[in-house]
Structure 1
Amino acid sequence: MKRLLNLKGILHNKDFKYAISLFVIIGFICFSFYELSKAEVTVVQNDEETTVHTHAKTVGDVFDELAIDVGEHDKLSHEQSELVDSGMKIEHTIAKQVVVNVDGEQQSYYTIADTVEAFLAEQNIDLSKNDHIKQSMDTNIEENLEIYIEKAFQITINDGGEEKQVWSTGGTVKKLLASEDIQIGELDRVEPKQSASISEGTAVNITRVEKVTDVVEEEVDYKVVKRSDDSIEKGKEEVVSEGETGVVEKQYEVVLENGEEVSRELMKENVKKESQERIVAIGTKVSEPASTPASTTTASADTNSNATQSETVSRGTEEETSKTLYMKATAYNWDCATCDGRGLTSTGYNLKANPNGVVAVDPSIIPLGTKVWVEGYGYAIARDTGGNIKGNKIDLHMSSKQKAASYGSRTVKVKIID
């Protein structure tokens, strides 16, 4: 009870009250002085400002006080060991990780750059004008951004014999040709094929192929036909008919590769002018030696007697009594392109059943039904006609198309038997 009364007495003691007040004032002053002694520091991080009052001695202490980790690749406007001054503004730029993929090979970087363009400059990554980058240069840098770069390389293109060097970043041959605006024709050849992938060192060869039609006229030489003539003395020759060259028009399909002819195929031909044979008469006449007048009558009588006898004998042989012609002979077969396919002649004769010994004639020269002998063919009967058989022409029927093609056309001796 006495202690309680003493404590109340102390509290009511003026000196004690004064001491307490003084202590509070001093504490306030000290606190104010402590606070006022703090430095005002502004920290800028990713465009966000934070202002703090601190007794930190260094920049590093400020970040420790704020529990901010400064990465190895981050950028600070001040060194961490620098002493803090009131009013100091510290800028902290946080580095971001970026992955660069160059032709499939990856490499990681840390950067404080804002855009792809700034990053490439920061890391000294050179790009040629032919290289290809997937992102645009003004793309903002974000954490773990992957930048794809395709490095260009040179390709040799041989286009129809003309070479040029072009730049490419890969892909297919077709893509390369499209990028160079090179058109490929239907017949052109490309090596390697258009679906093939290209790489550094690839050579693309284009063979330009075209088909053209070439029409040429060729001369057909005439044949020389020699005929015996008993009205010309033996050892002498006379030109009965001058030969004349013919003209045939030939149409070829020509294949050109890079402008050079590589093949030529005859498609069709047309005879524009027939060749005319050169006919030469060979003399066979033998002059008789002169006889004496005394024996003239007898010799003449003997001669006439012998001639009569010879003539009588010769009348019995077909060859001596027949008419001989020189004619242009052409072989044919009933199964030809212009034939009717039935195998019947104009007279109704069946060539399928009887393929041998039949000739087609101009009835004004050799009447139908006439028996003839043809040099190199033998005996035959005129049983057919033809639109192209005019004058001294004759067609010889062969048992097959192969034989007809093999025979072709030639001048032959024709004897009319009956």
Structure 2
Amino acid sequence: MRRVFNLQKLLNNKDFIYALTLIIVIGTISFLFYELTKVEVTVVQEDEQMAIRTHAKTVEDVLNELAIDVHQYDDLSHELDELVTRDMKIEHTIAKKVIVMEDEQETTYYTTAETVADFLEKEAIALSEHDSISHNKEEAIKDNLNIHIDKAFEVTINDAGKKETIWTTGGTIAELLANNDVELTELDRVEPSKDKEVSESLEIDVTRVEKVTDIVEEEVDFAIVKKSDASIKKGTEEVVTKGEKGTIEKHYEVVLENGKEVSRELLKEETVKAAKEQVVAVGTKEESKPVVTTTVAKAATTTEDVQTLASRGTEEDGVTTLYMHATAYNWDCASCDGRGLTSTGYDLKANPNGVVSVDPNVIPLGTKVWIEGYGYAIARDTGGNIKGNRIDVHLPTIQQARDYGSKTVKVKIYK
């Protein structure tokens, strides 16, 4: 016989109703007891708060419920095995990766520091006031942050003998000098070269170079012109016109290194005051004889050979004797044109001997002369500074011209 489940009959059964009610009451009480026995815990992670009710026994159990992994360098406010208590607040700070490049050496850190300054302090990375860091110390730490640190070192700048120690983190010598307000002129020298990278304990020498003009005044001796005078007794002399010394200015370009002169070059000479020649009358009067008239010799041509002049010896007829201020030059001087030609077109390169530069108003060009200490020559050249009783003898080399100097010499002029 088939049995059919009768729900209505079951519901009318008092024992069933009693049992069902008891089960519901017990289940409700059990649920309420389970919920009431939970504790409330707050978990803080990356400034985000999560409040949960849990039966977890330890901090680790709480974090596992929230699927939170705690790594080696993270900060956790409680130990993992600490028992959970009511209203517990668990703080978890995730460590961030920081890469530090210091003096070309790279180091990786994991930190929970909030700022760059906190990170440096926590990792015991010491910086001096001269060191350079790529980030502001108040900047917040971010994951995968790259920090560059350049450690400072000392170099010495020797500026014209004055030494100063400078802290730097690198760069070129030019950059170092500019950063320390060391200004250079075009003439100044720097050793080592300005494009060289600075290194620890390097000494940089700065040589200050100046070019100045030095003007020196020099006296010029006056020339003495002797003229025969038949009215004066032979063997005696009288000053007719008193001579006066002249003045010239010599302009030199002077090179100074760190205030000391290292070279000097004559640029030009200027006559400030021309010398005035002294005229002396030489007596020729003989008491027992009449005055003899001097015969003037015929002037020589400009092409006459110097050797022919020498053959005349000390012939006095037709000769005027002067005392003149003499200097020397060479065709290859700094102010010469380099062609080696005189103002009359004479080739000094091919014929460097027996040529004198004169003032044509005193000694006409082409005139034969004899110069004390030089010998016979022909007046073939002129010069801007050769005025009045001055001559400039030509010598084969520049060194010989420099060695000649400046002097007063006797000059015989053949008319």
- Structure 2 residue corresponding to 1:322, chosen from 317, 322, 329: 317
Contact 1:251 1:267 in 2 (8 A): yes
Equivalent position amino acid for 2:158 in 1: N
After superposition, the C-alpha distances for 1:300-332 in whole angstroms (9 at most, x for unaligned) are: xxxx9xx99xx9xxx9x9998934431357899
CA distance 1:388–1:261, shift in 2 (3 Å): closer
CA distance 1:320–1:108, shift in 2 (3 Å): closer
The whole-number CA distance in structure 2 between the counterparts of 1:359 and 1:144 is 87
Partner of 2:46: 46
Equivalent position amino acid for 2:164 in 1: K
SS of the residue 1:3 aligns to = coil
2:20 pairs with 1:20? yes
Partner of 2:88: 88
Partner of 1:264: 264
SS of the residue 1:206 aligns to = strand
The whole-number CA distance in structure 1 between the counterparts of 2:198 and 2:384 is 65
Matches within 5 A, 1:144-183: 144-183=144-183
Partner of 1:214: 214
Equivalent position amino acid for 1:326 in 2: T
The whole-number CA distance in structure 1 between the counterparts of 2:317 and 2:132 is 97
Matches within 5 A, 1:23-38: 23-38=23-38
After superposition, the C-alpha distances for 1:230-268 in whole angstroms (9 at most, x for unaligned) are: 9677xxx97869886553321110111111111111111
The whole-number CA distance in structure 2 between the counterparts of 1:97 and 1:231 is 119
| Alpha-carbon offset, residue 373 of structure 1 | 7.1
Equivalent position amino acid for 1:192 in 2: P
SS of the residue 2:4 aligns to = helix
Equivalent position amino acid for 2:321 in 1: Y
| Alpha-carbon offset, residue 73 of structure 1 | 1.1
CA distance 1:274–1:7, shift in 2 (3 Å): closer
The whole-number CA distance in structure 2 between the counterparts of 1:86 and 1:282 is 140
The whole-number CA distance in structure 2 between the counterparts of 1:4 and 1:242 is 172
CA distance 1:54–1:250, shift in 2 (3 Å): same
Partner of 1:413: 412
| Alpha-carbon offset, residue 122 of structure 1 | 2.1
SS of the residue 2:212 aligns to = strand
| Alpha-carbon offset, residue 138 of structure 1 | 2.4
Equivalent position amino acid for 2:196 in 1: A
Matches within 5 A, 1:323-362: 323-328=318-323
Contact 1:332 1:395 in 2 (8 A): no
Contact 1:101 1:146 in 2 (8 A): yes
The whole-number CA distance in structure 2 between the counterparts of 1:388 and 1:169 is 60
CA distance 1:166–1:358, shift in 2 (3 Å): closer
Partner of 2:73: 73
Equivalent position amino acid for 1:327 in 2: L
Contact 1:116 1:137 in 2 (8 A): yes
| Alpha-carbon offset, residue 26 of structure 1 | 0.5
After superposition, the C-alpha distances for 1:315-362 in whole angstroms (9 at most, x for unaligned) are: 9x99989344313578999xx989xx99998xxxx989xx99999998
Equivalent position amino acid for 1:122 in 2: K
The whole-number CA distance in structure 2 between the counterparts of 1:113 and 1:140 is 9
Partner of 1:288: none
Partner of 1:300: none
CA distance 1:271–1:388, shift in 2 (3 Å): closer
The whole-number CA distance in structure 2 between the counterparts of 1:85 and 1:357 is 122
SS of the residue 2:62 aligns to = helix
Equivalent position amino acid for 1:210 in 2: E
| Alpha-carbon offset, residue 413 of structure 1 | 3.1
SS of the residue 2:3 aligns to = helix
CA distance 1:320–1:40, shift in 2 (3 Å): closer
Matches within 5 A, 1:292-303: none
After superposition, the C-alpha distances for 1:46-100 in whole angstroms (9 at most, x for unaligned) are: 1111111111111111112222111111111111121111111111111111111
Equivalent position amino acid for 1:215 in 2: I
The whole-number CA distance in structure 1 between the counterparts of 2:46 and 2:267 is 83
Using the size of structure 1 for normalisation, the TM-score is 0.70
Partner of 1:290: none
Partner of 1:299: none
Contact 1:239 1:278 in 2 (8 A): no
Equivalent position amino acid for 1:52 in 2: I
The whole-number CA distance in structure 2 between the counterparts of 1:57 and 1:387 is 115
Partner of 2:195: 195
Q: Which has the higher contact order (CA 8 A, sep 6+)?
A: 2
SS of the residue 1:61 aligns to = helix
The whole-number CA distance in structure 1 between the counterparts of 2:384 and 2:180 is 61
Gaps of 5+ in 1: 286-303
The whole-number CA distance in structure 2 between the counterparts of 1:200 and 1:251 is 46
The whole-number CA distance in structure 2 between the counterparts of 1:358 and 1:159 is 50
CA distance 1:211–1:223, shift in 2 (3 Å): same
Aligned pairs, number: 373
After superposition, the C-alpha distances for 1:251-302 in whole angstroms (9 at most, x for unaligned) are: 11011111111111111112445567899999999xxxxxxxxxxxxxxxxx
| Alpha-carbon offset, residue 120 of structure 1 | 1.6
Higher Cα Rg, which structure? 1
The whole-number CA distance in structure 2 between the counterparts of 1:214 and 1:412 is 32
Equivalent position amino acid for 2:114 in 1: D
Partner of 1:100: 100
The whole-number CA distance in structure 1 between the counterparts of 2:61 and 2:55 is 9
Equivalent position amino acid for 1:109 in 2: Y
The whole-number CA distance in structure 2 between the counterparts of 1:250 and 1:46 is 86
Contact 1:359 1:383 in 2 (8 A): yes
The whole-number CA distance in structure 2 between the counterparts of 1:31 and 1:206 is 91
CA distance 1:40–1:374, shift in 2 (3 Å): closer
After superposition, the C-alpha distances for 1:114-140 in whole angstroms (9 at most, x for unaligned) are: 221222222222222211111112222
The whole-number CA distance in structure 1 between the counterparts of 2:19 and 2:8 is 16
Contact 1:327 1:394 in 2 (8 A): no
SS of the residue 1:194 aligns to = coil
Using the size of structure 2 for normalisation, the TM-score is 0.70
SS of the residue 1:4 aligns to = coil
Contact 1:362 1:389 in 2 (8 A): no
2:122 pairs with 1:127? no
CA distance 1:268–1:65, shift in 2 (3 Å): same
